[in-house]
Amino acid sequence: MVAAQPPLAGQDGIKQGQLSVQKSPKKPDIKEIRLRGDVAAVHGSLAWLWAAHTTPTNPPPPSQPHTAIMRWLSKALSAATAALLINAASAQTWSSCNPLQNSDCPSDDALGMSINIDFTKGSVNSFAASGSPDYDDEGVAFTVSTGGDAPQLASLFYIMFGRVEITMKAAPGAGIVSSLVLQSDVLDEIDIEWLGSDNDEIQSNYFGKGQTTSYNRGEFHQVSNTQGEWITYTIDWTKDRIIWMAGGTVVRTLNSGDAEDNQYPQTPMQVKFGSWAGGDPNHNSPGTVKWAKGPTDYSQGPFTMRVQSLVVTDYSTGSEYKYKDTSGSWESIEAVGGEVNGNENGDAITVTATAEGSVATTNNVPVGGIAEDGSPATATQTGWPWTGSRPSGGAIPSGWRLNAEGRIIPEENGAPSSLQPYHSLVVMAPLLAGILTFAGRLF
């Protein structure tokens, strides 16, 4: 008898590489399983280990030679180590829970502050990677070179109103899309997209509660040389309005009263950015290929989006954001240990003018703005487009906090930390080794 293996990150019932432009079916009501801290991770590992080794033939009876028992213990240690690696890789497995449909959804980790991330210094552990983002002295690179590639980073935290500033160069190439997406668990969404076939244009977009209606929210804006120059783009979001900016110039303002009924984004948002091939007809519908101005010719690649830095400011304070009811309104959000809009007055941008030249889109603009990576490098496959589920990467562990550089550090001393996904393994490996040594002395 062989016990079932624990699921790998991303195995949530959707086949690897599966892509769809249709609205995803209703997700399970369980949004996430939070394995808070190393103790929970070890408990899960030992529980699986016990199940795997309590059949009639495991472990060997005491009558068997000492070497056989030691071999079994060695296998047990290897299995426990592997289980810890799996727990570390999934680092708190995510599944979706829409608070519009379920009043018991777990709360979202809050940023509650402002962080300034310099990607030229390398990665930060407050963002989970999907696919294979690369780092060099220019920052983080998101490269699309073959079908299914969609490298991306997604924050482990949420903001409840706030500002996101990204300094970047968009990826070139027909059908290649670079994206910055703010998205909530109820599928509120604010986007900026850059189409690789248009070096001098960007697109702004928003959705409420996952409703696309007639895809009439997007607008195109003239911005010169988006692929060749480092340009800072900003989304500034409050309960009253959303402002999209490029290079310090406002390109669009949406007042909450001007949004369609119940369509103004107003729930805690996760920050995601990356690139993908919307123009690949093998992975997307004809409507998406047309919108992305494909088809994509991979022989002309690779195609790379580069991000130099990211500044994220949460206009609310506290440690978590909780939905108090299923209305999806900002008034229903509780900031645990803080206040919704508690940071707004000091950091919000106050502007009313909008740059000339904004043009409404005529093609269907996809929800989510980015694909899930279909390359072998990723363990997270939830289909296209994003529908509120998060890549496996974990949450901010209990006893840790974010610093101003976007790194997760211990709360007790505030010193920089090298916390990595394999943290549990590093901590628990000596304990497991000690158990094996002690067991060896018994025989």
Buried/exposed code over 181-211 (b: 16+ C-beta within 10 A; e: otherwise): bbbbbbbbbbbbbbbbbbbebbbbbbbbbbe
Biggest CA pair distance of the chain: 85
Which among 189, 219, 344, 372 is annotated as catalytic?
A: 189
Active site residue 189: yes
Q: Locate the DSSP E strands across 56-188.
A: 108-109, 114-118, 127-130, 134-136, 139-144, 152-159, 162-169, 176-184
Which among 193, 201, 219, 372 is annotated as catalytic?
A: 193
Give the total residue count for the chain.
443
How many Cα neighbours within 13 Å face the side chain of 56? Answer: 1
Residues 325, 317: Cα–Cα separation, whole Å:
20
Active site residue 193: yes
CA proximity to 108, closest of 265, 348, 271, 296? 271
First to last CA, the chain: 27
Residues 353, 223: Cα–Cα separation, whole Å:
17
Measured between alpha carbons, how far is residue 438 from residues 53, 77, 130, 431, 442 in Å? 19, 13, 40, 10, 7
- DSSP-assigned beta bridge partners for residue 244: 235, 252
Residues designated as active site: 189, 193
